[in-house]
Structure 1
Amino acid sequence: MTMLTGVRNRTPFESAPSHRGRLRLIRRRTATPYLPSDRITADHTRRARWRIPVIVMTSSAVLAGCSGQSSPTAAGADPVAGGHLTVGIGTAIDCFDPQISPSSLTSSILRGVYDSLVYANPDGSFSPWLATSWEISPDATTYTFRLRTGVTFHDGTAFDAAAVKANFDRIVDPATASQYAGQLISPYRGAEVIDPHTVAVHLAAPYSPFLRAVASPNLGFHSPKSLTENAADLCQGGPTQVGTGPFTFTSATDGEGFTFTRNDTYNWAPASSDRTGPAYLTSVDYRILPESSVRLGALTSGEVDAIDQVAATDIDALASTEGIEVHRADPTGIPYTYFFNTDRAPFNDPRARLAIQKGVDLNTLTQGIFQGKYAPAAAPLNPATFAYDGTLEGTWGYDPDGAKTLLDELGYTATDADGYRTKDGKRFTIALIYDPTYQKPERITYDTAVQDALRTLGVELTITPIGNGSYIGVRNSGAYDIIAFGWSGSDPDVLRTIYGSDQQLADGGANGSHVRDPELDTLLQQGLTITDPEQRATIYSAAQKRILTSGYGLPAYVAPVVTAASTRVQGLTYAPDATVPALDSAWTPVD
């Protein structure tokens, strides 16, 4: 997914009565002009809750917005068709095929091109979409979907059961090299075409996140014709991207941007949608603007209508700018986390891992660097994620005396001339690597602050960028001490993706700590197969405690997804796990 140190960072969706709740706006009235900050920073990242004692059980997050003036379009105004939107995004898309790419930016944007079988509502329920109904077998290993009739792909091909089978078969085919979608349906055993509008999906074992998985844009549907004729070109973007969604993929220019055009025949929005027909916007241009200051300038000058990746240090200034609204959403998944490589010294010893975990004051760092806009992490899951365990807050973390005791136990009792702890004349030195192509300046700032904090403990942390396409190879080989990233996902099964023994990086997984923990694996497997929400929450609470007490990583901070848009833009919403707004219900006044 990305937006992280070489892996994936995904995000939340909004809590509201309709399929995508409208933005809640908090107004600030001022005409103070916005001046872009010299600091070029960017980073990705009211919850609906079901509660059992203090364990948050939610799969949604509320979007909040603030602006420098009231919107020129009344909040209750009726949407109008027509209009064009230009969106500035900070990261180029390497692959436009959501069945292959792990990038949350890819899946968020391509949501407009590809529909799914079901829609995940903010309250945790699911609404019909391309499937009008579904049945689950008593043993929870077969899901039978009745498909909507009259749905067509952009190339005119009919959407049917054979298309479902062709796409799911492709996703799990090793030749496809799916980097995320395959994990979402890892128990998939095959699909059976019952008739043109009925398909039975067979699983190897009960799989509680299955409906949420098939609601993901990563499991959206390519035209079978496109799979047959253009499969090798789907990463490139453009007209070969043929889905059933409200927008067609018109064109893509490498390094510059891409364009979507309204699908005028669209008439099959999710059942819980407040819109049934085509999108309101005639077209959407996405412009790739990597520099934060350039994106901010483009928005405030009117060159673009919306931007992503608004940095914490720019939120207040933008929010007080006339004609601009800042929109925030709490992320699901895991926070920005430092993962300790347990396969090599010093982190093959849990005392070393726990010493680092205890040696960093996350509260002070997070509040200071992000000006109170981000929160320090309290658990391995983000608070908006179902089964987040709020009781873990305060049970672990900063304990400098405890960190020093552990370092003493490891034998690092001497100190060199620079103040670093040594053992047999060698410093306690650890290295963090990152890919400068994807790592955002906010994260580098935070990494540097962690480096300074560890220096006061007598630990030397080096921070090394590995570019020129070499990062993935180094990472997958395990030649590092620490890597850091965030990962989104509304189901706590994301913990299996990050910490499961069968999710090693070299095998295409995301286990940055190289964890191989049978006890943790048992918990994660139980959470995968048990369908009762309260039982799952209890299991994932135990898993989160196991991760923290074992010191597999240092969850650092929770970064909201922050975007900004002109107040003329109405109807911006977040689909599940999105990092940019969905535009199928967006509209602007037509001049």
Structure 2
Amino acid sequence: MTRHLWTATALAALLTALPAAAQELRIGLSDDADILDPAQSRTFVGRIVYAGLCDKLVDVDADVNFVPMLATDWSWSEDGLQLVMNLREGVVFHDGTPFDAAAVVANIERSMTLPESRRKSELSSVAGIEATGPMQVTFTLTAPDASLLAQLSDRAGMMVSPTAAEAAGADFGQNPVCSGPFKFVERIQQDRIVLEKFEDYYDADRINIQRVTYRPIPDTTVRLANLRSGELDIVERIAATDVASVRDDPNLQMQEAVGLGYMGIYANIANGERAQTPMGQDARVRQAFSLAIDREALNQVVFEGTARAGNQPFPPTSPWYNEDLPVPARDVEAARALLAEAGQDRVAVEIQHANTPVVTQMMQVIQAMVAEAGFDVSLRATEFATLLSEQTAGNFQLSRSDWSGRPDPDGNLHQFVTCEGGINDPKYCNPEVDRLLNEARALNDPAARKEKYDEAGVILNQDLPVIYLGHQTYIFALDQAVQGFTAFPDGMIRLQDVTLAE
């Protein structure tokens, strides 16, 4: 009898303790992440996962100011050719490898030399990095680079275990080992990514969640239904058409922040055989396509007025926006005239796009708009990671894709439109654009930098390797039990101080 009473008592105590010990946060993502290696990945949702998995040297705050993370402070030399960073002590990677200057050197060199790395162009100004103390590194640059801090606040600055990276090579993403608040548990493609709290995290007291599960659910309606049914706790990027119903739901809460990036259509200009089309070979055809789009109507019809119409890599609210290149009004007659000038009557073109309801709706609206100007558009919907793979391979004519944006203007341009840009999938190359963007990188004076971006923008507005459509607001819906979450302009889901009420 005593034994049974003890067992029941112990069981009751165990059950009482379980909710706190096994507290799980379930996050609905609009896509599945690509490879979980900061050196190789490129998806927006991958960066959301990294916010829990991989700490960076530098972070940004809610006002998009650079703030310390794994680097506690930094300073530039007077000539702008050296950046000295002091590092946080007491940090270890998930496999127990210590975080120190040698680890930072190994990470930066990996991003610069790994054949599969997509960070090379982001770090192209770095001539070298060395440990100038056990907890200090010094970057030496080939030329002043005002964008470097911004790069180190993103994937180029994410620190992975040198031990694990050396052992795994290009396969590191199958079992990523970082130094963030959560460590990797498992991944099932198209189903879930699971992380659990890293007890040796240097700031573990701010981490109240024991387990995080990220679920890719491209359909916004299904994603929101899962939140309402209690299967999810947070969903990112809800459809604008659902904003009113979320606000009116007493069981839900909503947060939003204007994004730093853009929505765009990439044109295959020189990336393989599929570039050999009127759209790829003649800028006048791309200009006609752009003029046939009513961007403000897209905002109203697809986004219920929550987005901003745009024609540049920076939103109209940005200090980097060129007011001398305003969003063009739709002009079907001018579009037809440009096609005629290019020797075209009607142009057939295929556009690939992500298979999400919002993007699909947007593309159907664009399909109807441009048809009036002489474009016969066929749409090819695909899963987002596949879309990016197809872009890289050149298996596209036009490709509709978003860029989440960066706090420094260089991050919205350089890697996309310079001749050797790391994610220049159109393979666009204009030496004058390269010159202007490289010179802008070397300037610390914002006014002088803006002049260079404005000049480059005029050229890009003519060449149109990317046809910009507008700028989204990041809208999050949350269960009322989620407390402590703050929406940031970069769209990331930071889990410090987040709790789940009973």
Fold equivalence (TM over 0.5): yes
Residue by residue over 1:221-264, the C-alpha shift from the partner in whole angstroms, topping out at 9 and shown as x without a partner, is 11222223344543124xxx332222222333444323322233
- Aligned-partner Cα distance in 2 for 1:123–1:296: 28
Bigger mean CA offset, 144-153 vs 464-473? 464-473
Residue by residue over 1:59-98, the C-alpha shift from the partner in whole angstroms, topping out at 9 and shown as x without a partner, is xxxxxxxxxxxxxxxxxxxxx9984322222322231222
Partner of 1:258: 193
Partner of 1:318: 246
- 1:299 shift after superposition: 0.8
- Aligned-partner Cα distance in 2 for 1:468–1:287: 14
Cα 1:92–1:159 change in 2 (3 A) is same
Cα 1:99–1:468 change in 2 (3 A) is closer
- 1:391 shift after superposition: 4.4
Give the aligned residue type for 1:300.
R
- Aligned-partner Cα distance in 1 for 2:418–2:311: 21
Partner of 1:399: 331
Residue by residue over 1:313-364, the C-alpha shift from the partner in whole angstroms, topping out at 9 and shown as x without a partner, is 2222222212111222211123333536376442433332222222222222
2:409 to 492, 501, 509: 492
1:455 to 371, 374, 384: 371
- 1:566 shift after superposition: 0.7
More helix by share: 2
Partner of 2:231: 303
Partner of 1:134: 74
Partner of 2:4: none
Cα 1:402–1:200 change in 2 (3 A) is same
Whether the aligned pair in 2 keeps the contact of 1:455 and 1:461 (CA below 8 Å) is yes
Partner of 1:332: 260
Partner of 2:430: 517
Give the aligned residue type for 1:462.
S
- 1:304 shift after superposition: 1.5
- Aligned-partner Cα distance in 2 for 1:84–1:353: 48
Instruction: State the percentage of identical aligned residues.
Output: 27
Whether the aligned pair in 2 keeps the contact of 1:355 and 1:406 (CA below 8 Å) is yes
2:113 equivalent to 1:169: no
Whether the aligned pair in 1 keeps the contact of 2:255 and 2:487 (CA below 8 Å) is no
- Aligned-partner Cα distance in 2 for 1:178–1:354: 33
- Aligned-partner Cα distance in 1 for 2:300–2:394: 32
2:471 equivalent to 1:555: no
Whether the aligned pair in 2 keeps the contact of 1:117 and 1:130 (CA below 8 Å) is yes
Gaps of 5+ in 1: 1-79, 269-275, 413-420, 422-427
- 1:477 shift after superposition: 5.8
Cα 1:205–1:319 change in 2 (3 A) is same
Partner of 2:27: 87
Structure-2-length-normalised TM-score: 0.86
Partner of 2:184: 249
Whether the aligned pair in 2 keeps the contact of 1:190 and 1:203 (CA below 8 Å) is yes
- Aligned-partner Cα distance in 1 for 2:195–2:497: 14
2:89 equivalent to 1:154: no
- Aligned-partner Cα distance in 2 for 1:363–1:453: 12
2:284 to 334, 337, 351: 351
Please list, as runs of the form range in 1=range in 2, the aligned pairs for 1:338-417 lying within 5 A after superposition: 338-339=266-267, 341=269, 344-347=276-279, 348-383=281-316, 385=318, 387-394=320-327, 396-412=328-344
Whether the aligned pair in 1 keeps the contact of 2:33 and 2:385 (CA below 8 Å) is no
- Aligned-partner Cα distance in 2 for 1:214–1:97: 15
Cα 1:297–1:125 change in 2 (3 A) is closer
Cα 1:232–1:368 change in 2 (3 A) is closer
- Aligned-partner Cα distance in 2 for 1:285–1:518: 45
Give secondary structure in 1 for the equivalent of 2:477: strand
Please list, as runs of the form range in 1=range in 2, the aligned pairs for 1:62-81 lying within 5 A after superposition: none
Higher relative contact order (CA closer than 8 Å, sequence separation 6+): 1
- Aligned-partner Cα distance in 1 for 2:352–2:194: 31
- 1:564 shift after superposition: 0.8
2:500 equivalent to 1:582: no
Give the aligned residue type for 1:492.
P
Give secondary structure in 1 for the equivalent of 2:208: coil
Partner of 1:178: 117
Partner of 2:10: none
Give secondary structure in 1 for the equivalent of 2:53: coil
- Aligned-partner Cα distance in 1 for 2:463–2:189: 44
- 1:453 shift after superposition: 1.5
- 1:569 shift after superposition: 0.8
Give secondary structure in 2 for the equivalent of 1:234: helix
- 1:165 shift after superposition: 0.7
Partner of 1:36: none
Cα 1:459–1:217 change in 2 (3 A) is closer
Whether the aligned pair in 2 keeps the contact of 1:264 and 1:278 (CA below 8 Å) is no
Cα 1:186–1:516 change in 2 (3 A) is same
Cα 1:173–1:362 change in 2 (3 A) is same
Cα 1:359–1:290 change in 2 (3 A) is closer
2:419 to 501, 506, 519: 501
- 1:403 shift after superposition: 1.9
Between the two proteins, the alignment pairs up a number of residues equal to: 476
- Aligned-partner Cα distance in 2 for 1:90–1:155: 30
Partner of 1:540: 453
- Aligned-partner Cα distance in 1 for 2:288–2:423: 27
Partner of 1:15: none
Whether the aligned pair in 2 keeps the contact of 1:572 and 1:583 (CA below 8 Å) is yes
Give secondary structure in 1 for the equivalent of 2:482: coil
Give the aligned residue type for 1:587.
T
Give the aligned residue type for 2:107.
N
- Aligned-partner Cα distance in 2 for 1:532–1:120: 20
- Aligned-partner Cα distance in 1 for 2:392–2:188: 30
Partner of 1:429: 347
- 1:187 shift after superposition: 2.0
2:483 to 556, 560, 570: 570
Cα 1:457–1:502 change in 2 (3 A) is same
Give the aligned residue type for 1:526.
E
Partner of 1:6: none
- Aligned-partner Cα distance in 2 for 1:261–1:364: 44
Gaps of 5+ in 2: 1-19
Partner of 2:6: none
Residue by residue over 1:432-465, the C-alpha shift from the partner in whole angstroms, topping out at 9 and shown as x without a partner, is 3316xx4423222222222212222233223245
Whether the aligned pair in 2 keeps the contact of 1:378 and 1:390 (CA below 8 Å) is no
Whether the aligned pair in 2 keeps the contact of 1:108 and 1:577 (CA below 8 Å) is no
- Aligned-partner Cα distance in 2 for 1:158–1:338: 42
Cα 1:552–1:267 change in 2 (3 A) is closer
Give the aligned residue type for 2:290.
Q
Give secondary structure in 2 for the equivalent of 1:183: coil
Partner of 1:210: 148
Give the aligned residue type for 1:234.
F
1:225 to 151, 163, 174: 163
Cα 1:292–1:477 change in 2 (3 A) is closer
Whether the aligned pair in 1 keeps the contact of 2:64 and 2:489 (CA below 8 Å) is no
Whether the aligned pair in 2 keeps the contact of 1:96 and 1:236 (CA below 8 Å) is yes
- 1:479 shift after superposition: 5.8
2:217 equivalent to 1:289: yes
Whether the aligned pair in 2 keeps the contact of 1:573 and 1:583 (CA below 8 Å) is no
Give secondary structure in 2 for the equivalent of 1:388: coil
